[in-house]
Amino acid sequence: MLNLLVYILEAKKEMLVGFSVSLLYITYYLVEVVKRPELVCGAGEFRRVLEERVPVLQARYWPTPWCVESRMQTVLGSVLRSLFLPPLEYQREVVTLSDGGQVALDWANTGQGQARGVLLVLPGLTGSVHADYVRCLAAAARDLRLDTVVYNNRGLGGLPLTTPRLYCALSHEDLAEVVRWVRERRGAAQPLLAVGVSLGGLILAHYLAAHGAAAAVDAALAVSAPLDVEAGAASMERGANRLLSRHMARNLRAAVRAHAALRADWAAVGAARSVREFDAAFTARHFGFSSAEEYYRAATLRDKLRRLRRVRAPLLCLCAADDPFQPRAALPAEEAARSGRVALVVPHRGGHIGFLEGWWPAQEARSQYISRVARQYFSALLDRPDLLLSSSKQTAVS
């Protein structure tokens, strides 16, 4: 009888400890994790539309309770979406560039009736039409009756390399040719919207800044784009982030090895175990930089106010405050606060292209946070065509 009493007391103690820990975590989750995204943008019509017509930006973001840590969001976001979201069906077109290079454009969502425009998607570092987040963006485009076209950087998508040059964060002139090609194919009357993810977002931002009012993209969204490459590269070298950097370096080595005819120090490339080591061994040399640090300085957009001032197409940058590759302090908040065309939306959590929600985050593609942001943002701008860059050009001419 005494043993039974002791057992009951011990069980109650364990239950009390478990209840206390649960209560503490719930309090932490509600107070420190669940928050409204921070919106940074200059005063004007663009900000007003974001505040009034994009409700997801005004609502609290509820990360998956058992997956709030940034690296878990980053890894599990990719794994779960890849496993549970159906792959896209697509048709491929190959575009030959002015220097003889070629890139692949993969079209999805076609054949759904009269499309009202095109959504051009730029995947991340070595991404393609098969990337998990592309499925989310294609779902948003389908809801908006937009055709989706996924841009594969030269050397990716299984195409042979026809020039001795691959791609990097500064390869926005390739994008400019592709944008012109899509415009000519679909006509100037249809809106051309663009989403860049991670490296794709950085290339897209460079394109918009370089071309200013002459850009042929009407509105853009950048997701988890490393706008400050120097700070992002330093962050990837810290703590557990090095594991993610090692994984990315492995993907980069595989992408380059597919083009063995390139001139490179293959021993150094094979020995690279981080993104910085890969960029020092290959990217910097391949594009004429003396070091990885010089390449990072050239690729960085933060603190280059004159570049961001040139952006005339509405640009929304979705960046989690805990992104392991883009610390909150590295975001161009001051630049965005002075801009009427560039806005930052910064959820407190989300990792790098993670943004998981709900107890079971493997939701259908159109319900994913990235999809909802894209759908509501572009829907708001399509309802206000006067804010699109093409309308601004017509107004200026008239």
Q: Give the active site residues.
A: 198, 323, 352
Rounded to an integer, what distance in angstroms lies between the CA atom of residue 127 and that of residue 175? 15
Tokens standing for residue 332:
């161009």
The DSSP letter of residue 239 is T
Of residues 186, 197, 200, the one with CA closest to residue 224: 197
In angstroms, the Cα distances linking 104 to 194, 204, 382 are 16, 17, 27
Tokens standing for residue 245:
């950097």
- E strands in 10-115: 38-40, 91-96, 102-108
Strand partners, 173: none
Tell me the H-state helices in 100-240.
132-143, 172-186, 199-211, 229-236
Of residues 340, 334, 354, 341, the one with CA closest to residue 224: 354
Identity (one letter) of the amino acid at 234?
Answer: A
In angstroms, the Cα distances linking 287 to 121, 165, 205 are 24, 8, 19
Identity (one letter) of the amino acid at 203?
Answer: I
The residue with tokens 């994913």 is 368
